[in-house]
Amino acid sequence: MSFPLLTATAALPAIGAIATAAVPAARRTAAKWLALLFSLATLVLAIVVLVRFDPGGDRYQLTESHAWIADFGVRYELGVDGIAVALIALTALLIPFIVLAGWHDADPSPSSQLRSSGGDPKETGNKRWRPTQGFFALILAVEAMVILSFEATDVFLFYIFFEAMLIPLYFLIGGFGDRAHEHGEEKGATQRSYAAVKFLLYNLAGGLIMLAAVIGLYVVAGNFSLPEIAEARANGTLEMSTGTERWLFLGFFFAFAVKAPLWPLHTWLPNAMQESTAPVAVLITAVVDKVGTFAMLRFCLGLFPEASKWATPVVLVLAVVSIIYGALLAVGQRDIKRLIAYASISHFGFIIMGIFAMTSQGQSGATLYMVNHGISTAVLMLIAGFLISRRGSRLIADYGGVQKVAPVLAGTFLIGGLATLSLPGLAPFVSEFLVLVGTFTRYPVIGIIATFGIVLAALYVLVLYQRTMTGPVKPEVATMPDLRVREIAVVAPLVVLLVFLGVYPKPVTDIVNPAVKQTMSDLEKKDPQPEVEAAK
């Protein structure tokens, strides 16, 4: 097709970011509506990409390729397979809800309004003014870079946006962090700065190691085109020694394991999610972190199949440690956001385990898990954000009896929690089941250990609900309002999706399964056959 649909899908939020940032300071509401409009327009284009994609067609579709830095073999090369299409749709779907949920998160504080009118800021607290336009512009900028990361089939192009998205995220964490802090605004600002710097340093370290591997790949292959390198490997025209392939794999995998995140490279995530506003926390764990697991499938397994098989035992051990470790730490958390962060680390362990189980069920389940985890985490974290904004505290102990004064809020919080523990009938159950089945057929011990993560998930979710929503009504929550119309508009469609994909996941699996089969073919892996023959 002549129209550059993939470029337009990524360019639209980028243009929206520029337009939103250019709105005059006094027109904060206009900036919000403009950001929402651009995010909805991006969703429309993502739906067009979804409709135009043919699951039974070529591996990479809607391709675009233009010369960029010809002397070094760098091209502006885009293309999507079924996995990329599903994650682009997830990204474009969540951003409008993130914008709506954060509608008032960057509004000027009372002290900033007082300063602008010549008053004494000490009368209302020492809180900094937060530019609304910048907040929403940064969200749209992240969306543009994430979508381009899913579309890029040139390794160098992917690397640029894989790293560039760190800059707007750094400002979203450090400059627009959560205002609910039990130690006061000054202590909160210090904690936000620490979380932002830790996030940036961890991910930059991973990116620098990956850059060395990207350069090494060019030295070996002579170009950065993923389809060309894969074809050269299949034809036997690309010679790569075992040692070289393993070192390059490790360089790529390290960066993706930080982004995902995988234990023991996970420690930046709890701090980042705790100090971010709830919408930004959703942006990080439901959208941005998916780039890491997606890249494991596309680049680690696609470029280095033999090294991926060589590293599988170690990766599976790290994944199962992430599952159990994340769940155990979630059980003991006092902070609602940190609990959800450690739960996400546990879930990413399941996703990575499914990817490296090297079975079609495991990889299909892992891809489906990326989508379902994004939706379920968005529901739980956004409701938690609405709850925290009402009470002004992230501590679990500061709540109790909420379901008696805000039943709709408590009910949707319960649905998000039940989805997090993978209750049958809700979307994450199907993906978690596929991951466990796919893992058990090839690595039964790993599969058995991973099932303990399900038990622990039930524990931390139900204990969280019990401590915050049930019991006597605490005086501080006695006047807590229930969900407002805007907040219901944010969570209701996501709850519907959780139920729909829980009972009918076929629309997603039909899109991703052909890409998974191609990955299995690249790996020269076949699913294990049942040991007991079916009765005739």
Residue type, 15: I
Task: Map residue 27 onto helix, strand or coil.
Answer: coil
What would the mean pLDDT of 222-227 be, rounded to a whole number? 84
* pLDDT for 535 beyond 90: no
* pLDDT for 44 beyond 90: yes
* pLDDT for 239 beyond 70: yes
Least confident of 100-109, 124-133, 212-221, 381-390: 124-133
> pLDDT at position 116, please?
32
Q: What average pLDDT is seen over the chain?
A: 86
**pLDDT band for position 360 (cuts 50, 70, 90):** confident
Rounded distance between C-alpha atoms, residue 51 and residue 197, angstroms: 40
* 180 vs 441: which has the higher pLDDT: 441
Least confident of 60-64, 108-112, 147-151, 316-320: 108-112
pTM above 0.75, yes or no: yes
Q: How many residues does the chain have?
A: 536
Task: Map residue 120 onto helix, strand or coil.
Answer: coil
Angle ∠(172,174,179) on CA atoms, nearest 5: 90
Least confident of 71-80, 122-131, 148-157: 122-131
* pLDDT for 391 beyond 60: yes
What would the mean pLDDT of 382-411 be, rounded to a whole number? 87
For 438-474, the pLDDT digits (tens) are: 998 889 999 999 999 999 999 999 999 999 888 888 8
* pLDDT for 153 beyond 60: yes
What would the mean pLDDT of 26-35 be, rounded to a whole number? 87
Upper half-sphere CA count for residue 471 (Cβ side, 13 Å): 14
What tokens appear for 345 in the block? 């680390």
Task: Map residue 395 onto helix, strand or coil.
Answer: strand
* 169 vs 531: which has the higher pLDDT: 169
What would the mean pLDDT of 180-187 be, rounded to a whole number? 57
Q: Compute CA distances 136 → 36, 97, 164, 193, whole Å.
A: 9, 12, 17, 20
Least confident of 119-133, 206-220, 226-240, 412-426: 119-133
What tokens appear for 336 in the block? 């609602």
**Helix axis angle, 427-440 relative to 407-420, nearest 10°?**
10
Least confident of 162-171, 314-323, 512-521: 512-521
> pLDDT at position 128, please?
41
Percent of the chain's residues with pLDDT above 70: 91
* pLDDT for 15 beyond 80: yes
> pLDDT at position 530, please?
65
Rounded distance between C-alpha atoms, residue 457 and residue 347, angstroms: 10
For 276-294, the pLDDT digits (tens) are: 888 999 999 999 989 999 9
What would the mean pLDDT of 432-441 be, rounded to a whole number? 91
Task: Map residue 343 onto helix, strand or coil.
Answer: helix
Q: Please, where are the H alpha helices in 392-426?
A: 402-405, 407-420
Percent of the chain's residues with pLDDT above 90: 45
- Residue at token pair 């590293």: 311
**pLDDT band for position 127 (cuts 50, 70, 90):** very low
What would the mean pLDDT of 188-214 be, rounded to a whole number? 86
Q: Compute CA distances 65 → 154, 190, 438, whole Å.
A: 9, 45, 36
> pLDDT at position 122, please?
38
Name the CA radius of gyration of the chain, rounded.
23
Helix (H) or strand (E) segment spanning residue 332: none
For 474-523, the pLDDT digits (tens) are: 888 788 888 899 989 999 999 999 999 999 999 998 999 998 888 887 77
> pLDDT at position 449, please?
92
What tokens appear for 435 in the block? 């991951």
User: Which of 483, 84, 464, 143 lies closest to 279, judged by CA?
Assistant: 143
